[in-house]
Amino acid sequence: MWLVVVLVWLLVMAAGTYWYLFGKPSPFSMESVRPPGSLELDQKKRDTVLKQGFSLDKVPENLDAIVIGSGIGGLTAAAVLAKAGKKVLVLEQHDQAGGCCHTYIEKGFEFDVGLHYIGQMHENSLLRIAMDQITEGQMQFVKLEQHFDTITIGSGEERREYTIYSGKTEMEAHLKKQFPNDTKAIEEFFKFMKLSARKTHYLATLKLIPQWLALFLLKSGIAHLASSIFRHSGYSALELANSLTSNKDLHIIFSYFFYGVPPRDSSSVINALLLHHYKRGAYYPRGGGSEIPFHIIPVIQKSGGNVLVRAHVSRVLVDKDGAACGVAVRKGQEEVEVKAPVVISNCGIFNTLRKFLPPEIHTKPEVQDRLNMMKHGKGSFLVFSEKMLKMKDPGFGCKSCMTILAMVNYEWFEEWKDMTVRKRGDDYMEYKMRFANKLFDWACLHFPKLRDKLVFQDVATPLTNVHYLGAQRGAMYSSEHNLDRFHAEAIARNRCSTPVKNLYISGQDVFSCGIAGALHGGLLCASTVLDHIVYIDLLLLKMKLKRKKAKEMAKQSKKQK
């Protein structure tokens, strides 16, 4: 009798698991991807997509979800929900959609705000497949030269330069040529990179399975038996580097993608993933970073949703049961309420739980516990410079853009935080230009010809990022990516759902920073809202595409014979 009960229970569990993983229709399909069209260069036509201002008549009826913030994390979550048949409204406080993917034009020059280049956009990579799905194949990426980065250490006679190459085998081989005495250390680091890349989905799974189960697997040691990634994620980048070599220059290269956290306080796994991200090449979107929101927005609109800008969300509406049920949008001196059964915030955990929720909610212990898991990230300081390069023909020239990014403390600029943007006075202008000039002088030490070519310069401080991006304390990479955040147990607890029912988090605060990190935050959020792991759909689609590619290559081989 007991055997029958156990067998029936196992059968029910197996059937339930199968239904959860595969029983719901996939939001993705090969058929939804179209050949990319020509670039839209008419700015007025682009503005009708990227700069559609908020008004009540543009808000769709019977919304399924509202997304606060139109960064890549918010747009990804919205697009996946839209492809699943949901009607989604995305609200952006700036006058242009895109977050760090938006571009702006100043005095005839166009600048990318946050996207410099992106990795893992090679054919049939998981990230490329996801990008193709949320843009329906309209994004085109240009692969950068194999030598895509240079690291300069020291100055004067002590200056050393190291070049970073992309390539499945070339990245490692090229580093070995530059560090012939540390080939073993480089081999071990690249093994660790491969482990991190192949097993990161285990860490993501901690956010998708029930929290009690994730914590049970970790605390019981079962998870650690399955993979060492759970231990390594809480291992600092400096500890890893020290275990491999005493060469300080190589230490820097192993963790040179700086996001405001020194190697002693950053996760070895995250640092390894950032370098691995470019192993198969660095890519730039043809047409600039704003092409990404430009092509995601129509996907959201296709299911009856919309993306509206100049929509200042002042608070999340909470019903009598303490569940999120919409948002209030500030319109002049008034507030307009927009209702939906699901609210997704792409504005960071501090804005979401501290700024948007009423005091009686955000002071609750469970909300405070969630906030205490995170720390504020470093502020970002950017110098945008345009150079005019003259050609042999005196009638022609070409423009070149340079962005200098440095991490700074928000407190250095805090005294001007309550002043209106572009009206903060001469003291503020002189103060920020001292930073900008120092950074530009430093750049000219490495590229002396820059100084004579400079025709325009613009500067963004943490206060600029607060105003235009809604970035908490001007942190473009959102909350600090410190070591505590990437211990396996913290990863399991820091998920898309929040202590407030029907309120979810998307973007960089879900897993990691950058365009790719925020996009994955959107995929994780959509999986949570839909109660369906969309990564499985992406992996199945990847297998189909690989089979299709293999058949095409086989046909081509037969023709050549």
pLDDT for 329-348, tens place per residue?
Answer: 998 889 999 999 999 999 99
Nearest CA-CA partner of 88 in 301, 338, 271, 268: 301
User: What pLDDT, on the 0 to 100 scale, is given for residue 22?
Assistant: 59
What distance in Å separates the CA atoms of residue 296 and residue 158, rounded to the nearest whole number? Answer: 47
Q: Mean pLDDT throughout 396-407? A: 80
Taking residues 176-180, what's their average pLDDT?
A: 98
pLDDT of 6 > 60? The answer is no
Read off the pLDDT band of 3 (50, 70, 90): low
Contact 379, 416 (CB under 8 A): no
CA distance 272 to 287: 30
Cβ neighbours around 7 below 10 Å, total: 10
Q: Name residue, tokens 């002693």.
A: 264
Q: What is the per-residue pLDDT for 396?
A: 45
What is the pLDDT, as a whole number, of residue 11?
54
pLDDT (tens digit per residue) in 406-460: 999 999 999 999 999 889 999 999 999 999 999 999 999 888 888 888 888 999 9
Instruction: Single out the residue of 136, 123, 139, 137 nearest to residue 83, CA to CA.
Output: 136
Contacts of 146 (CB under 8 A, 6+ apart): 165, 166, 167, 170, 281
Residue 304's pLDDT band (cuts 50, 70, 90): very high
The two tokens of residue 378 are 């470093």
The two beta strands, 503-505 and 343-345, are parallel
pLDDT tens profile 229-242: 999 999 999 999 99
Cα 313 versus chain centre, distance: 22
Within 84-210, residue ranges assigned H as helices are 126-135, 170-178, 183-208
Q: Which of 171, 184, 197, 306 shows the shortest CA–CA distance to 243?
A: 184
Q: How far separated are the first and last CA of the chain, in Å rounded? A: 65
Helix (H) or strand (E) holding 398, with range, is strand 397-408
Q: Is the pLDDT of residue 132 over 60?
A: yes
**Residue 397 pLDDT > 70:** no
Q: What residues pair up with 67 in beta bridges, in sequence order?
A: 90, 344
Sign of CA dihedral 65, 66, 68, 70: positive
Q: What is the pLDDT of residues 55-98, one digit of tens each?
A: 999 999 999 999 999 999 999 999 999 999 999 999 999 999 99
pLDDT at 382 over 90: yes
Q: In this model, does residue 395 exceed pLDDT 50?
A: no
Rounded to two decimals, the pTM is: 0.93
- pLDDT of residue 165 exceeding 80, the answer is yes
Q: Please compute the mean of the pLDDT values over residues 28-50 and round it to a whole number.
A: 95
The per-residue pLDDT for 104 is 87
pLDDT over 90 (residue 394): no
State the pLDDT at residue 107: 77
CATH fold for domain 2-35+61-117+125-135+289-364+501-526: FAD/NAD(P)-binding domain (3.50.50)
Q: Which of 14-23, 219-228, 360-369 has the lowest mean pLDDT?
A: 14-23
Between the CA atoms of 66, 70, 71 and 76, what dihedral angle is there, to the nearest 10 degrees? Answer: 50
**Which residues are bridge partners to 118 per DSSP?**
283
User: Residue 485: is its pLDDT beyond 50?
Assistant: yes
Least confident of 203-207, 288-292, 350-354, 401-405: 401-405
Query: Which residues are CB-neighbours of 561 under 8 A, at least 6 positions away?
Result: none
Whole-number Å distance between alpha carbons of 389 and 454: 9
Of 112, 125, 196, nearest in space to 382 by CA: 112
Domains of the chain, by residue range, sit at 2-35+61-117+125-135+289-364+501-526, 145-280, 379-472
Percentage of residues in the chain having pLDDT higher than 70: 94
pLDDT of 20 reads: 55
The pLDDT value recorded for residue 123 is 93
Structure tokens at 18: 């199968």
**To 10 degrees, the CA torsion angle through 351, 296, 378, 277?**
140
- Structural element, H or E, at residue 149: strand 147-153
One-character DSSP codes across 212-230: HHHHHHHHTSHHHHH-THH
pLDDT for position 559: 79
Q: What is the mean pLDDT of the chain?
A: 92
Element of type H or E holding 460 = strand 454-460
Angle at Cα 214 formed by Cα 213 and Cα 215, nearest 5°?
90
Give the pLDDT band of residue 266 (cuts 50, 70, 90): very high
Residue 202 gets the label, from left (phi > 0), alpha (psi -120 to 50) or beta, of alpha
Is pLDDT above 80 for 12? no
Q: Residue 297's pLDDT is what?
A: 98
SS3 273: helix
Label residue 470 by pLDDT band (50, 70, 90).
very high
* pLDDT at 393 (0 to 100): 44
Q: What is the pLDDT of residues 490-531, one digit of tens each?
A: 999 999 999 999 999 999 999 999 999 999 999 999 999 999
